[in-house]
């Protein structure tokens, strides 16, 4: 019996790195379902991804936690008078491939004990790291990858690759790929706005990349 494909967990080196745009591209490329387990504040990323996806197959699942404030989930949950509990978060029912989007960077706290990246390990997901390029991003990206590798070595998740989101900075990209040993899955340039056509353009590129055999990293 064929094993179902694992979910793909989209995370980033920080907040506003481009996770939601890349999630839309990935959903479109795979005609996958989308799920944001924890949403802090409005607008909902689920609505943004749904607006940018063109295919008729993808479904968009409700959040496990929809928090009122655009803060770290642990802080927003405290304001809402709740505590996020990983044991209450379950995969949505679907027969389709599932793209999960995290909240902020990999070590964003969910409560006093857990971090957002633990969702990837809980569901044995393949992790894709989105890195936007700015002064200091090499350090932030290498630190993020080191933490992902540390957790993957003893956990259930794997690391699929890196996506660069910014106008190209060849020297930064080259040194990041050299030191991490991870493949670059996609490069997203800066655009004044993101449209369905732009998402479809990048989805076609990503689909070709994902068709090439690559080994996930532990």
Instruction: Look up the domain containing 139 and give its range.
Output: 8-211
Q: With 60 as the cut, is the pLDDT of residue 1 above it?
A: no
Query: Which of 19, 36, 122, 160 is labelled catalytic?
Result: 36
Task: Tell me, yes or no, whether 177 lies in a domain.
Answer: yes
Of 120, 115, 100, 97, the C-alpha closest to 218 is 120
Q: Across residues 189-213, what is the average pLDDT?
A: 94
Predicted confidence at residue 211, as pLDDT, reads 83
Task: Tell me, yes or no, whether 163 lies in a domain.
Answer: yes
* Single pTM value for the model: 0.95
Task: Tell me, yes or no, whether 174 lies in a domain.
Answer: yes
- CATH of residue 67's domain is 3.40.50.300
Contact (CB, 8 A) for 166 and 190: yes
DSSP sequence for 59-126? -EEPPSEEESSSS-HHHHHHHTT----GGG--PPP-SS-EEEE-SSSTT-BSSSS-BTTHHHHHTTPE
Q: With 80 as the cut, is the pLDDT of residue 215 above it?
A: no
Q: Across residues 162-189, what is the average pLDDT?
A: 96
* Tally of domains in the chain: 1
Task: Tell me, yes or no, whether 138 lies in a domain.
Answer: yes
Pairing of the two strands 65-67 and 184-188: unpaired
Task: Tell me, yes or no, whether 1 lies in a domain.
Answer: no
Mapped onto helix, strand or coil, the DSSP state of residue 31 is: coil
Of 94, 88, 10, the C-alpha closest to 60 is 94
What is d(CA 167, CA 215) in angstroms, rounded to the nearest whole number? 27
Predicted confidence at residue 2, as pLDDT, reads 55
Predicted confidence at residue 212, as pLDDT, reads 79
Q: With 90 as the cut, is the pLDDT of residue 216 above it?
A: no
Of 128, 175, 173, the C-alpha closest to 12 is 128
Q: With 80 as the cut, is the pLDDT of residue 82 above it?
A: yes
Of 29, 41, 47, the C-alpha closest to 188 is 29
Of 43, 13, 5, the C-alpha closest to 166 is 13
Tens-place pLDDT, residues 121-166: 999 999 999 999 999 999 999 999 999 999 999 999 999 999 999 9
Name the band, by pLDDT with cuts 50, 70 and 90, for residue 4: confident
Task: Tell me, yes or no, whether 216 lies in a domain.
Answer: no
Contact (CB, 8 A) for 67 and 36: no
36 carries an active-site annotation: yes
Phi, psi of 188 (to 5 degrees): -110, 120
Task: Tell me, yes or no, whether 218 lies in a domain.
Answer: no
Task: Tell me, yes or no, whether 75 lies in a domain.
Answer: yes
What is d(CA 180, CA 193) in angstroms, rounded to the nearest whole number? 31
Name the band, by pLDDT with cuts 50, 70 and 90, for residue 3: low
Q: Across residues 86-114, what is the average pLDDT?
A: 97
């Amino acid at each position: 019996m064929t094993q179902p494909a694992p979910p793909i967990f989209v995370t980033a080196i920080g907040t506003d790195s481009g996770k939601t745009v890349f999630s839309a591209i990935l959903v479109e490329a795979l005609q996958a379902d989308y799920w944001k387990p924890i949403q802090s504040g409005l607008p909902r990323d689920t609505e943004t991804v749904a607006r940018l996806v063109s295919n008729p197959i993808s479904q968009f699942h409700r959040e496990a936690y929809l928090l009122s404030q655009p803060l770290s989930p642990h802080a927003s949950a405290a304001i809402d008078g709740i505590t996020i509990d990983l044991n209450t978060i379950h995969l949505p029912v679907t027969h389709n491939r599932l793209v999960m989007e995290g909240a902020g960077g990999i070590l964003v706290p969910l409560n006093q004990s857990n971090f957002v990246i633990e969702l990837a390990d809980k569901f044995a997901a393949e992790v894709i790291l989105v890195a936007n390029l700015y002064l200091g991003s090499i350090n932030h990206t290498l630190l993020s990858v080191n933490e992902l590798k540390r957790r993957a070595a003893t956990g259930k998740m794997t690391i699929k690759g890196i996506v660069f989101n910014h106008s190209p900075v060849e020297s930064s990209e080259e040194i990041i790929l050299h030191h991490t040993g991870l493949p670059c899955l996609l490069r997203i340039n800066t655009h004044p706005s993101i449209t369905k056509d732009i998402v479809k353009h990048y989805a076609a590129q990503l689909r070709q990349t994902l068709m090439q055999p690559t080994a996930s990293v532990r």
